[in-house]
Structure 1
């Protein structure tokens, strides 16, 4: 199989697709596969091209060349306008985070990918057999933990923050952190926040999840979601961290403008999941990470783990590369039969949308995946 690693076009994106760091590239090459990488592909993460060349990969100058030469495109973040201009090939596998199941309609992108006849594997929709998210876990951990650090940073006065310290100071009140969502990212955020000495409260709709969190969190208040209780806690929060996605049919916003106005001026909102959940939120970038609305500092960076690429790439490759190896060894059809997680995230085959949550979000027909007849 011929693998290709193109540059990521998202602002300051430093992670490499599918865990194809140099030592994993060396494994693929040793198994008889070919790997092309675009010149400078991991230099933003501090990894020079020489590391890929030592691993046996071949360097090309342009992104177009990567797509033209490769059977399998290893990306990380969602397809930008520039990515969608690439010379796709029918039957080509593109593995990345397409982010098409979160309620934001992308009809032109769906149409273009369908007409190109590519096979799309959407890693952020992958699931374990119990229904929990799979390949988002390592990045959710980093995003959740780092969100608390960002909240503490932007509380500082030079950013327009209130000047409250995220860590305890003798004689001063402790900072209060409110976390929306007790999933993996929310749990990790709570662990860091309580470890730093803040007062922490987590809201979730799932009582069983809250029961589990009690076993791993020692000094965090765990509350069932209700609009009134949540609004009261938002008003008291120095840092509000959103860790939930919007989904088709969900009532949004969860955090209204009125709730934001109720917060103390200079408080901070860190939104891990992007538009929809918080009425005043906007996407921001690593280059321009924050803005102030209603007197509240908003941070809406959607690729927070790219701030720590050494850790992010190492962690992600441990999760992702075994799945890539299955595809390389068995081919996609047989790999999907052997690997539940892989099958769960095949999003599109030959123009057919094979994930119900994506079909619902993009308002198109859903065709259940049958590896024997479709791959």
Structure 2
């Protein structure tokens, strides 16, 4: 199979779909790999490394999309990339279609087969290709939030951990999954006062056993969310419904009642965001202010630490990418129902239930796509 790796073009996105090490594995399996010029240069993965790994360097993205049987990316295809996709071509990347009807329609119109990292599952019910970036984003959320609390960023002028005689900032984390757990670890490491809110009692028990008295937990009710959010200095939105739009847990009225200079970091923004006042931002302009509250809603947070993120992502995606290349996407999915869960679009139809429901498409069952 001929595998193509284009350079990412989303604003301030420096990650790359395959590292030179991953390319070498692909070549060892008998595949050919073409990589766009300078695709990884920003993070120290220059063209010479890819050439030594066995890749062919090509000048532009148009050549990648024109030639490749499978395109491996990181972020969702931008409109100009969607226009280059063609029927029968496989796209393997993050998609986040539920809050993005324009992208969904563009992928439907392309006729390509689009497989989303974020909906591939594992035997334990986890999301193995989303998890590494959730770990990064959870840890980064605290860094970003602590920075936004500084006066120069418009914040309340608080040090997250306080100092002797001055209490620490109150950090509230909505969601106790991978993002929330990593955010909690970072915030507690900085000696903040940390509360995690989740609707799963079992998850709250697990967090309690893991972190003990350093962490406060609360069961997710409207009253609990309102009480803790209004008292918080920093709120991290870390909720996830796989493949679907994130629930809006914090209303505009609640934001208006928050402390002036407090901070919201919406890690769920890729799926539409969990604060009613959220809208996607970029690393170029990461924040905006609503009713005196700082909003950080960068849709590709791990892109700020692109080298770490690229290697962490490749560790997770490479086995699936190899399966798709070795067996073809249909056979690979017949043998692995967890990979089949990643199928979102095929031959002009939506094949993922949550996306079809949110965007109003008729669902084409993924099993039917395999049989087609």
| TM-score bin (small chain) | over 0.9
- Which of 119, 131, 139 is the matching residue for 1:137? 131
Compute the displacement of 1:75 (Å).
1.1
User: Greater CA deviation, 312-321 or 25-34?
Assistant: 25-34
Q: Can you give the 5+ residue segments of structure 2 that lack an aligned partner in the other structure?
A: none
Q: Conserved in 2, the CA contact under 8 Å of 1:128 and 1:341? A: yes
Q: Distance between the aligned counterparts of 1:248 and 1:337, measured in 2?
A: 21
Q: Distance between the aligned counterparts of 2:122 and 2:20, measured in 1?
A: 27
Q: Distance between the aligned counterparts of 1:217 and 1:78, measured in 2?
A: 35
Q: How many residues align?
A: 369
Structure 1 residue aligned with 2:366: 369
Which runs of at least 4 in structure 1 moved beyond 6 Å after TM superposition?
A: 246-251
Please give the secondary structure, in 2, of the residue aligned with 1:170.
Answer: coil
The equivalences for 1:274-285 within 5 A come to 274=269, 275-285=272-282
Q: Conserved in 2, the CA contact under 8 Å of 1:323 and 1:339? A: no
Q: Conserved in 2, the CA contact under 8 Å of 1:2 and 1:69? A: yes
- Which of 235, 257, 269 is the matching residue for 2:230? 235
- Which of 180, 195, 199 is the matching residue for 2:189? 195
Compute the displacement of 1:45 (Å).
2.0
Q: Distance between the aligned counterparts of 1:287 and 1:152, measured in 2?
A: 18
Structure 1 residue aligned with 2:25: 27
Change in CA separation of 1:252 and 1:95 when aligned onto 2, cut-off 3 Å: closer
Pairing 1:162–2:118 present: no
Compute the displacement of 1:31 (Å).
2.3
- Which of 211, 216, 220 is the matching residue for 1:221? 216
TM-score calculated relative to the size of structure 2: 0.93
Task: Give CA deviations for 1:30-78 in whole Å, capped at 9, x if unaligned.
Answer: 2221111111111222321111111111111111110011000011111
Compute the displacement of 1:221 (Å).
1.1
Pairing 1:332–2:326 present: no
Change in CA separation of 1:81 and 1:89 when aligned onto 2, cut-off 3 Å: closer
Change in CA separation of 1:111 and 1:237 when aligned onto 2, cut-off 3 Å: closer
Please give the secondary structure, in 1, of the residue aligned with 2:79.
Answer: coil
- Which of 250, 264, 283 is the matching residue for 1:286? 283
Please give the secondary structure, in 2, of the residue aligned with 1:370.
Answer: helix
Task: Give CA deviations for 1:147-193 in whole Å, capped at 9, x if unaligned.
Answer: 01111111111111111101231111111100011111011111111
Pairing 1:10–2:4 present: no
Compute the displacement of 1:215 (Å).
2.3
Q: Conserved in 2, the CA contact under 8 Å of 1:337 and 1:371? A: no
Q: Conserved in 2, the CA contact under 8 Å of 1:177 and 1:199? A: yes
Q: Distance between the aligned counterparts of 2:72 and 2:235, measured in 1?
A: 34
Q: Distance between the aligned counterparts of 1:246 and 1:212, measured in 2?
A: 20
Change in CA separation of 1:248 and 1:346 when aligned onto 2, cut-off 3 Å: closer
- Which of 172, 175, 188 is the matching residue for 1:178? 172
Q: Distance between the aligned counterparts of 1:310 and 1:186, measured in 2?
A: 22
Change in CA separation of 1:200 and 1:322 when aligned onto 2, cut-off 3 Å: same
Please give the secondary structure, in 2, of the residue aligned with 1:308.
Answer: helix
TM-score calculated relative to the size of structure 1: 0.93
Q: Can you give the 5+ residue segments of structure 1 that lack an aligned partner in the other structure?
A: none
Change in CA separation of 1:114 and 1:265 when aligned onto 2, cut-off 3 Å: closer
Task: Give CA deviations for 1:12-42 in whole Å, capped at 9, x if unaligned.
Answer: 111112xx10011012112221111111111
Compute the displacement of 1:113 (Å).
2.6
